[in-house]
Amino acid sequence: MGNGAPSSGVRVPRADAERVRASLDAAGCLDRAWRPVVDGGHLVWPVHGGVSLPADVDGERIDVAPETWSAAPPPIDPHHRLREAVERWLLTHIQADRERQEALLNDVPKRWERLNDLVLLPNDAFASPLWKEALSASERPPWAEIAAALRAERLGQQAHIASDVIRSSNATMLLGASGDVEVTDHGVVFRFDATQQMYSSGNVTERHRMGNLDLRGETVVDAFSGIGYYTLPMLVRGGAEHVHACDINPDAAAWLLKGAQANGVEHRLTQHVGDNRTTLPALQGVADRVVLGLLPTSEHAWEDAVRCLKPGGGWLHVHMNVEEERIEAWAEETAARLGGSIGHLERVKWYAPRIRHVVLDVHVSRGI
Ligand SMILES: C[S@@+](CC[C@H](N)C(=O)[O-])C[C@H]1O[C@@H](n2cnc3c(N)ncnc32)[C@H](O)[C@@H]1O
């Protein structure tokens, strides 16, 4: 039976068919990859080989030639598809009793991040002792099945965010060699290597907010530009006249240039690669606004950022991780320290329990 179809089924009168299907399914006996066969006034449900039927199933177990079955349409919900793909892999690759299979199945990831044709699983996926044991006992892991179930070509797994300045390793590839991706969000194309750079979906509201600003005629300094999370929306959607993008990581800078080229805005971008303690002082008095997008804090660059503003002043977008109960006080203190007034306070996302990533828009009416 080369197509994996079952060799037996449970034959029940149609009137009992739904009740029996539910029992078989709850007990993990139903092979959902196949449609039931109609046999006069009876239905025959496909069941997995080698499993004993639950006691409340009163249908008759019969032999069925594998070619009798036709494949069921794939379920629409990706969580179901993932679970079923892993279940089929378990049945063919792992010698495990039903209880262990259920435990493994209950530990299948419930969320993931899609970057075009690449899906990134969270760092704790398939990392339990039970899964580690199952994977080391199998001749090959279920990555191809998982990618197919999630309609992806490539599969990766997020690493714990490195605590180094440039946030070096971000993910490892499980299926597919390259982590290069091109993602379009609100009409803006971002390009990066997902194994190296982080593309935080949690920052999406802030990316959109920066892109919604009317920046026509403005010069912007992005002090921590990365692959262009804010630089590209400001150029493409905000229509900024020019963005000076600073970053210490040459790889991130190279990807930002590729992103700018993909959007056709590279002629309005100047890149300054190096520590912004050195690059910002060379940009004194040029900017209508400065973006300070580094977590947990961008504090070391605040003074230089104020000096980047034009003599008539401008805006600072200060990112910071702040304890929930300190947010209002922090905003007041920060605006005062920068010699400006609060224009807006954006709560972007929870960074950790009780700690929020916030962005404070400070208007400084006179540059230094
Ligand atoms: C990952 S981005 C942060 C983007 C966004 N705010 C977020 O949290 O997703 C931070 C960028 O700042 C750069 N960076 C860190 N310290 C820097 C410094 N002293 N000078 C210039 N760039 C720096 C890193 O290389 C990195 O690309």
User: DSSP readout, 110-155?
Assistant: S--EEETTEEEEPTTTT-SHHHHHHHHHSSS-SHHHHHHHTT-SEE
Residue-level pLDDT at 1: 42
Span from the CA of 293 to the centroid of ligand 1 (angstroms): 7
For residue 161, the tally of other CB atoms under 10 A from its CB is 14
Structure confidence at residue 228 (pLDDT): 97
- Strand-pairing partners, residue 154, are 118
Best CATH choice for the domain 8-68 from the list 2.40.440.10, 3.30.930.10, 3.40.50.300, 3.30.70.2580: 3.30.70.2580
Domain positions in the chain: 8-68, 78-175, 199-364
- From the CB of residue 14, how many other CB atoms can be counted at a distance below 10 Å? 12
Q: Running along the chain, 368 residues long, what does each successive block of 10 average in pLDDT?
A: 80 87 88 88 89 84 91 82 89 81 91 94 94 92 95 93 59 95 95 89 89 98 97 98 97 97 98 98 98 96 97 97 97 96 95 93 84
Contact between 218 and 210 (Cβ < 8 Å): no
Cα–Cα–Cα angle for 232, 234, 238, rounded to 5 degrees: 130
Q: In which residue are the tokens 């209880």 written?
A: 99
Q: What is the pLDDT of residue 197?
A: 86
DSSP percent split of the chain into helix, strand, coil, nearest 5? 35, 30, 35
247 CA: nearest ligand 1 atom: 22
| Partners of residue 366 on adjacent β-strands | none
Residue nearest atom 3 of ligand 1, based on CA coordinates: 294
CATH superfamily label, 199-364: Vaccinia Virus protein VP39 (3.40.50.150)
Residue of minimum CA distance from atom 16 in ligand 1: 165
The residue with tokens 């400084």 is 364
Strands 269-273 and 242-247: parallel
- What confidence score (pLDDT) does residue 169 get? 63
**DSSP code of residue 167:** -
Tokens 């630089």 belong to which residue? 231
Question: From the CA of 366, how far away is ligand 1's center (Å)?
Answer: 27
Instruction: For the full predicted model, state whether its pTM sits above 0.85.
Output: no
**Distances, alpha carbon 98 to alpha carbons 27, 50, 51, 130, 265, in Å:** 9, 11, 8, 14, 57
Task: Give me the pLDDT at residue 96, please.
Answer: 76
* Confidence at residue 221, expressed as pLDDT on a 0 to 100 scale: 98
Give the residues surrounding ligand 1 with Cβ less than 6 Å away.
Answer: 165-167, 198, 200, 203, 224, 226, 229, 246-249, 252, 275-276, 293-295, 319
